[in-house]
C-alpha cells in the first residue's frame, strides 16, 4: 500500500501507541493492564507501520531480531519466578525491594515488573512475527 495519508498518520500514531503500550504495561500489577495487553497495543502500532511502509521497513523500525526478543522475554519471565525460589518461597511469588534513584529517592520495585516486561517481549515478538509473515505474503 502506498498511501500518503496512512504513512503520515502512522508517523504520529506509532510513537503514541508505543507510549500508551508502555504505560499500560507498567501499571499492570496495580491496575488493569500488564505485559500482554501492553504488547498487543505496541504490536498494533507496528502492524500499522507495516501496512503503511511495508514489512522490510517495519523490521528495520523494530531494531531487534524477533526470535531474540521472544527468547529474552521468556528468560526474564522465568528469572522473575526464580528470585522467589532463591528466597525460599514458591515459584513466581512476588519479591519486593527498593532501589535508590538519585533525584527520585527510594523506589519500590519487584519481580512482577520483571515478569510483565518478559511477557511484553514474548507477546510483542510472537504477534509481530505473525503480522510480518502475513504482510510478506
**Residue 39: all three cell numbers together:** 504488547
CA dihedral angle for residue 16, residue 18, residue 23, residue 24, rounded to 10 degrees: 110
Q: How do residues 37-77 score in pLDDT, each as one tens digit?
A: 999 999 999 999 999 999 999 999 999 999 999 999 999 99
Does residue 97 surpass a pLDDT of 90? no
Q: How confident is the model at residue 31 (pLDDT cuts 50, 70, 90)?
A: confident
CA-based nearest residue to 21, from 33, 5, 9: 33
Does residue 1 surpass a pLDDT of 80? no
Q: How far apart are CA 46 and CA 54, in angstroms?
A: 10
CA-based nearest residue to 122, from 29, 38, 15, 10: 38
Does residue 13 surpass a pLDDT of 90? yes
Which H or E run contains 124?
helix 111-136
Q: How far apart are CA 77 and CA 115, in angstroms?
A: 4
Amino acid at each position: 500500500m502506498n498511501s500518503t495519508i496512512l504513512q503520515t498518520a502512522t508517523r504520529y500514531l506509532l510513537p503514541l501507541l508505543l507510549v500508551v503500550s508502555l504505560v499500560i504495561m507498567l501499571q499492570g500489577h496495580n491496575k488493569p493492564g500488564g505485559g500482554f495487553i501492553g504488547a498487543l497495543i505496541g504490536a498494533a502500532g507496528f502492524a500499522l507501520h507495516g501496512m503503511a511502509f511495508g514489512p522490510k521497513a517495519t523490521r528495520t523500525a523494530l531494531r531487534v531480531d524477533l526470535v531474540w526478543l521472544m527468547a529474552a522475554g521468556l528468560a526474564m519471565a522465568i528469572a522473575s519466578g526464580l528470585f522467589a525460589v532463591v528466597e525460599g518461597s514458591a515459584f513466581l511469588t512476588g519479591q519486593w525491594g527498593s532501589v535508590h534513584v538519585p533525584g527520585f529517592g527510594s523506589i519500590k520495585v519487584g519481580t512482577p515488573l520483571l515478569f510483565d516486561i518478559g511477557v511484553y517481549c514474548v507477546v510483542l515478538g510472537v504477534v509481530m512475527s505473525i503480522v510480518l509473515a502475513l504482510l510478506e505474503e
